[in-house]
Amino acid sequence: MNIQEIEAQVRQIPDFPSEGILFMDILPILKSPAHFQGLTRHLSDLAGDIDCVVGIEARGLILGAAIAMQIDKGFVPLRKAGKLPGEVRSISYGLEYGKDVIEIQKDILNPGEKVMLIDDVLATGGTLIAGVKLLRECGVQIQSVVVALEISGLPGRAEFEREFPDLKLHALMVK
């Protein structure tokens, strides 16, 4: 399945989660086995030489786990605050419509491990930037940073590239 067929399944939902936000909904892709498999195959091609896939809650968890299975690698979640057992590292960050916190278990990744970081949508960049900062605190090597969909009219890519000029950001689809 080609990327344009997958991208055609993205729904635009105005005023969600708050007024003035145009939400890019990838759930129709996930509902269709053919589209979901196509999406994970294309995203898997962007993984590079890695030991582990790291996915950001919520839809990045779904995509990351599917990619990890596709390429026979381990999977580690970055979760919202209070969802992980044991000691965690955490970081707070700004969203297009508020603030949030993501966490990772302190001992789940080993320094030097090579990882792919995946999220579903790049909007303002806050979540992805926080994810990279958290992974760098863990001492891992970030081999690839990937999003399924980038919203071109928002500053996410520019913010990410300003913060991390040494990392390449891959977006499978751009709307």
CB atoms within 10 A of CB 1: 14
Task: Give the rounded distance of the alpha carbon of 101 from its chain centre.
Answer: 15
Catalytic residues: 59, 96
Q: How many CB atoms lie within 10 A of CB 126?
A: 20
Which of 147, 154, 155, 151 lies closest to 172 in space, CA to CA?
Answer: 147
The kind and range of the H/E element at 97 are none
